[in-house]
Amino acid sequence: MATTPEIVSGEYKYGFHDDVSYLAQTKRGLTRQTVEEISGIKGEPKWMLDFRLRAYDHFLARPMPTWGGDLLQIDLDKIVYYRKPSEGEEKSWDDVPDKIKKTFERLGIPEAERKFLSGVGAQYDSEVVYHSVREELTKIGVVFMGTDQGLKEYPELFKKYFATVVPPEDNKFAALNSAVWSGGSFVYVPKGVEVPLPLQAYFRINAENTGQFERTLIIVDEGAKVHYIEGCTAPIYTTDALHAAVVEVIALPGSKVRYTTIQNWSNDVYNLVTKRAHAHAHSTVEWIDANTGSRLTMKYPSIYLRGEGATAEVISVAVAGKGQHQDTGAKAIHLAPNTRSRIISKSISKDGGRTTYRGQLKVAPGATGVVASVRCDALLLDEGSRSDTYPYIDIQEDDTTMTHEATVGKISQDQVFYLMSRGLTENEATNLVVQGFLEVFTKELPMEYAIEFNRLVKLEMEGSLG
Amino acid sequence: MTAADAADVAGTGSPAGTAVAPAPVAPRPRPSGQVRQGPTDLTLGFVDEGTVRAIAAAAGDPEWLLADRLEGLRAFAALPIETNPLYTSYVDLRNATLADTRPYTTPATVAPGAADETLLPEGAAAYAEISEDRVTALVVSPEARAAGVILETLDELAARDPGMSRQLLEGGCALPENDKLAQMTRALWSQGLLIRVPDGVRLERPIVLRWIVGAPGTALLTRTVISIGEDAEVSVVEEQVAASAPKATMAEAQAFFAGTTEVQIGAASSLSFAGLQDLSLRQVAFQHRSAVLGRAATVRWALAQLGSRVIRSRIDNKLEGDGSAVEQAEIVFGSADQLFDLTSYTRHLGRDTTGNLLSKGALADRSRAYFKGLATIDLSAHGTDSFLGEFAMLLSRQARSVAIPSLEIDQPDCRRVAHASAVGPVDETQMFYLESRGLHPDEARKFIVLGYLEPVVARVPLAGAQDRLRELLEAKWVAQSGSRSGTAEVA
């Protein structure tokens, strides 16, 4: 299996380095030609070009969603839809805003990673270059590589599953991603293999006004087990970018997949993501999803329980501060008998921020013996902030057992008072209460992530991220 | 809006619709030549300016009222069936075939002897009975009359006190401006009732309203205005029942009933309102109930929905006054292919207001219930206590329950904000317990289901009406368990 540097140089061999006129990036805006250009640069098979063009047509035909957040500020003509690795604009550490630098410091991000995360170090924009596949994983047959490389190296496996979970016609931004996708992760875990360590991938938007349209495809074969981690706690610096990703997970019978996301885009990013998993018989799919960054996030990780006895769990956390709208939630669609799902959502609105829980729980005819629960809790910390809850519960089988509960409140003054009587300052006490509120999420994270996440929440609470 | 658009804005996709389309309703054979109707299509043959002017002329409407009707007509034309993007994918009017219905265009005539006191039901303070286009009873007890309580038709009100008529009706009163069907009623109502309770009057006995409607091919559009002064207390029982015997066949033309209840409650007053809807399966009902509450005012809704092929109902509670409260309980007992499309909006505006809303459905056969509830807590609503519960029990594999209990909150300083929803089958443990006491399983099932709905029955403020509701629920239980064993199709 190729290691990281070879991936990059390997793709250069496919002959796009000699055509300098559009090597660096496509022109701003999206035309049919842009789509053809992207596919050409990548040297893709015809079926992928056809797929992209079909998606492009649908993208044009599909109206903008009129629900959710305010999408009117997105200027689709200003976006660069493809930017090749290594040729982004060089930035210096001095250009990184103080706010971001300070946050790195407070979060305890190592020096080398700070530059990397702020786009100063390794200059790779739209291609995945940071995949560390351990030797031992390679030995046991686990595939973990960039999605473009996956298409080249595993064409049959790729074609069999690609876009089967999220078709381009699913929604406008899935169509956009399908037309211009680049980068993302391709993961295949063979039958019966348990991946001992979480697979981690950093996603980046480095250059100003560069969209990121990564596409992740994770196939977990029968009886296999994997934990995939996307994102990181550090703010990812960019301006006015659009991030429209698609993530597809296929959990084959008896497998177990956990997908953890900590989303902390800088507060100018429109983060419009379609994440969906197919859970086959007796498999388990878990989305552990936190959103603290971005201007607007619209993301509803979904699980389609297609096989008997499948299990779904979604833990979703959203924190919205000044100027932010987190329109997030979860969907569990029960299509097979004796399937179970549990959705837990926690949100915090402060400093004029807005959180929206939008969820769907559906039990289709034929899905007998379903057990499902939804729990949504929201904290509203001050006047001027807003919290919305929109759950859709559609039950079409009579022996379903479903419960849904939601509460919205402020921080309990009793708890704060108690903690202060134990010697904590008001700030510390409030922090502790908020951390307790989010613990259901934090405790599911690997330790180093949990520590960073708690620090991040503390920073958010202090308002030092403004 | 097309069905595809509706699916797009379902609000439940990611930026995404769901790839799983809402399950289609069990297809029913259609009479040949009938144009295929989309879920949000509603064809009505009479909603036009000519009909509005004819109704206004027949009633001798003053200028302002005709203008108000025309305003309603304009709003009707401009609005989609569902204006709230949260709910657009949960609308289904395909079983409402109303294109050939014709409205009553003249005000109801008051039958001779309608004021005969012997018509007053036992325990009632006043009674109005409207049978199609005739007022067959309109009686106020001597005590209520002495206290200044008024129960009259809107026609009588216009003649008696034009100023009050204008004050209560103009501008669509409290009817929701963004609701197409409410605006239709505003444009085309031909009948109506006023209940007026002056300051300081506490009526112990309820006022009873009874609508007996459903002649094939007819449309009855009515407005009921309830105006309660300060420091008063009143209870109302409203029944909407089918005119013809329940032997009606599906082949007969549908009839529809569109009725409003427009309530204004003054400071420190309370209204208990019990509504029973038991129209037939070839009737379609559109209900709009709205209450505007003053300081420390309370409204208690206890609503039972049993009948109609399709019922679309909307309740708007506007908690304007500090300390005002709404207690709302609504039950549904569905069978055959009935659709209960029930929306409730509760808006908290004043300080320390309380909203306690509960919906419960028991759904048999292929019946469906859409429970849509939205509680909005404005920035001004410090100290709000808001609870919204939507529960359903599915009695058949073909039944369907949709619950969308939503919250929009701008004010963090609340006593409680919560909602809950649960769906489940008949509880096995309860079955086991009752069977161990010697009950036949069918009997045990009946106890559990009717017991589940009992909390609303118990809130009906008139013993006679309570018993009647229990009887209707029992009868419906028998009918639906009969249809399950294949012996009856139409309740």
| pLDDT tens-digit map of A8-26 | 333 323 222 233 333 457 7
Which of B18, B379, B406 faces A331 most closely, judged by CB atoms?
A: B18
First to last CA, chain A: 45
Residues of A in contact with B400 (CB under 8 A): 394-396
**Dihedral Cα A167, B24, A314, A200, nearest 10 deg:** -10
Report the predicted TM-score, pTM, of the whole model to 2 decimal places: 0.86
In this complex, is the C-beta atom of A304 within 8 Å of any C-beta atom belonging to chain B? Answer: yes
pLDDT at A16: 29
Asked whether the beta carbons of A334 and A305 are under 8 A apart, the reply is yes
In this complex, is the C-beta atom of B418 within 8 Å of any C-beta atom belonging to chain A? Answer: yes
Token look-up 């550490």 returns: A93
pLDDT band at B277 (very low <50, low <70, confident <90, very high): very high
pLDDT at A223: 97
* Selected residue of A271, A331, A398 to mutate for chain B interface (largest B Cβ count, 10 A): A398
Q: Is A188 exposed, middle or buried (0-12, 13-18, 19+ CB in 10 A)?
A: buried
pLDDT at B459: 84
DSSP 8-state code for residue A193? P
Q: How many CB pairs under 8 A join A and B?
A: 192
- What would the DSSP string read from start to end of A62-103? SPPPSSSS--TT--GGG-B--B-TT-SPP--GGGS-HHHHHH
Mean pLDDT of chain A: 82
d(CA B209, CA B195): 10
Residues of B in contact with A364 (CB under 8 A): 20, 23
Is B333 or A122 the better-scoring residue by pLDDT?
A: B333
Which of A360, A383, A384 faces B18 most closely, judged by CB atoms?
A: A360
Coil, helix or strand at residue A369: coil
Asked whether the beta carbons of A161 and A276 are under 8 A apart, the reply is no
CA angle, corner B233, sides to B228 and B234, nearest 5?
80
Question: Could you count the other beta carbons within 10 Å of the beta carbon of residue A134?
Answer: 14
| Mean pLDDT, residues A193-212 taken together | 60
| Shortest CA distance from A407: residue in chain B | B418
| Mean pLDDT, residues B304-313 taken together | 96
d(CA B279, CA B312): 13
* Selected residue of B12, B359, B363, B401 to mutate for chain A interface (largest A Cβ count, 10 A): B12
d(CA A441, CA A258): 13
pLDDT at B24: 43
pLDDT at A100: 63
Is B10 or B365 the better-scoring residue by pLDDT?
A: B365
pLDDT at B358: 94
In this complex, is the C-beta atom of B7 within 8 Å of any C-beta atom belonging to chain A? Answer: no
d(CA B472, CA B478): 10
Contact A383 B10 (CB under 8 A): no
Beta bridge partners of B292: B264, B318
**B425: its two tokens:** 């089958």
A25/chain B closest Cα distance in angstroms: 27
**Residue B381: pLDDT over 50:** yes
pLDDT band at A145 (very low <50, low <70, confident <90, very high): confident
Q: Is A54 exposed, middle or buried (0-12, 13-18, 19+ CB in 10 A)?
A: middle
Residues of B in contact with A393 (CB under 8 A): 390, 401-404, 421, 423
* Selected residue of A327, A397, A408, A412 to mutate for chain B interface (largest B Cβ count, 10 A): A408
Integer angstrom CA distances of residue A23 from A27, A44, A79, A84, A396? 10, 15, 16, 7, 53
Which of B5, B19, B408 faces A170 most closely, judged by CB atoms?
A: B19
B362/chain A closest Cα distance in angstroms: 11
**Residue A92: pLDDT over 70:** no
d(CA B228, CA B272): 12
Coil, helix or strand at residue B82: coil
B161/chain A closest Cα distance in angstroms: 45
In sequence order, which residues have a C-beta less than 8 Å from that of residue B204 and are 6 or more positions away?
B125
d(CA B385, CA B383): 7
A396/chain B closest Cα distance in angstroms: 4
Beta bridge partners of A393: A361, B403
Asked whether the beta carbons of A345 and A376 are under 8 A apart, the reply is yes
**A279: its two tokens:** 């859970």
Which of B8, B12, B410 faces A392 most closely, judged by CB atoms?
A: B12
| Mean pLDDT, residues A288-301 taken together | 94
pLDDT tens readout for residues B197-233: 999 999 999 999 999 999 999 999 999 999 999 999 9
**Residue B486: pLDDT over 80:** no
Burial B13-34 (b: 16+ CB within 10 A, else e): bbbbbbbeebeebeeeeeeeee
In sequence order, which residues have a C-beta less than 8 Å from that of residue A6 and are 6 or more positions away?
none
| Shortest CA distance from A388: residue in chain B | B408
What stretch of H or E contains B137? strand B134-140
pLDDT tens readout for residues B154-177: 999 999 999 999 999 998 778 999
Asked whether the beta carbons of B132 and B107 are under 8 A apart, the reply is no
| Mean pLDDT, residues A146-165 taken together | 94
Mean pLDDT of chain B: 89
Q: Where are the beta strands (DSSP E) in B243-367?
A: 255-265, 270-278, 283-293, 298-305, 310-319, 325-334, 339-348, 354-363
d(CA B478, CA B47): 39
In this predicted complex, what is the ipTM?
0.84
Residues of B in contact with A173 (CB under 8 A): 14-15
| Mean pLDDT, residues A400-428 taken together | 90
Domain limits, chain A? 4-299, 411-466
Asked whether the beta carbons of B222 and B211 are under 8 A apart, the reply is yes
Contact B395 A406 (CB under 8 A): no
**B325: its two tokens:** 């409260």
Residues of B in contact with A408 (CB under 8 A): 407, 409, 414, 417-418
| Shortest CA distance from A272: residue in chain B | B15
**Residue B147: pLDDT over 80:** yes
**Residue B237: pLDDT over 80:** yes
Contact B13 A170 (CB under 8 A): yes
**Tell me, what amino acid is at B258?**
A
With pLDDT > 90 as the criterion, what percentage of chain B qualifies? 79
Residues in B 308-367 with any Cβ partner in A closer than 8 A: none
| Shortest CA distance from A333: residue in chain B | B20
d(CA B300, CA B85): 28
**Tell me, what amino acid is at B120?**
L
pLDDT band at A426 (very low <50, low <70, confident <90, very high): confident
**B135: its two tokens:** 């007022």
Is A132 or B425 the better-scoring residue by pLDDT?
A: B425
